[in-house]
Amino acid sequence: MIPEGCPLDIDPIEIGKLIQQVEFLTTQVQENNRRLKDLENHLERTRGMGLGILLASVGISAGGASVITRWMSGG
């Protein structure tokens, strides 16, 4: 039985299966997009923390070098 006006000679059961697969793929794409957005947000937070740690260690190193320089010069 082919639906009236259907341009293709496809069994309605096969059309139903195709629709089911398209709906499943749509759900999977939406889930993957959500996961990707979560990963991007996590990467942004991690990058910010990494930059903060880098700046803190540069500051501590500069402070330590200043103390050692003053101590070595006798000041």
Q: Supply the DSSP string of 2-51, one letter for each residue.
A: --TT-SS---HHHHHHHHHHHHHHHHHHHHHHHHHHHHHHHHHHHHHHHH
The model scores a pTM over 0.75: no
- 38, two tokens: 């979560």
CB environment 27-48: b (16+ within 10 A), e (fewer): eeeeeeeeeeeeeeeeeeeeee
Q: Which pLDDT does position 21 carry in this prediction? A: 92
Q: Which pLDDT does position 1 carry in this prediction? A: 57
Instruction: Please tell me the distance from the alpha carbon of residue 20 to that of residue 14, in angstroms, as a whole number.
Output: 10
**pLDDT (tens digit, 9 = 90+) per residue, 2-53?**
566 666 677 888 888 989 999 999 999 999 999 999 988 888 878 778 888 8
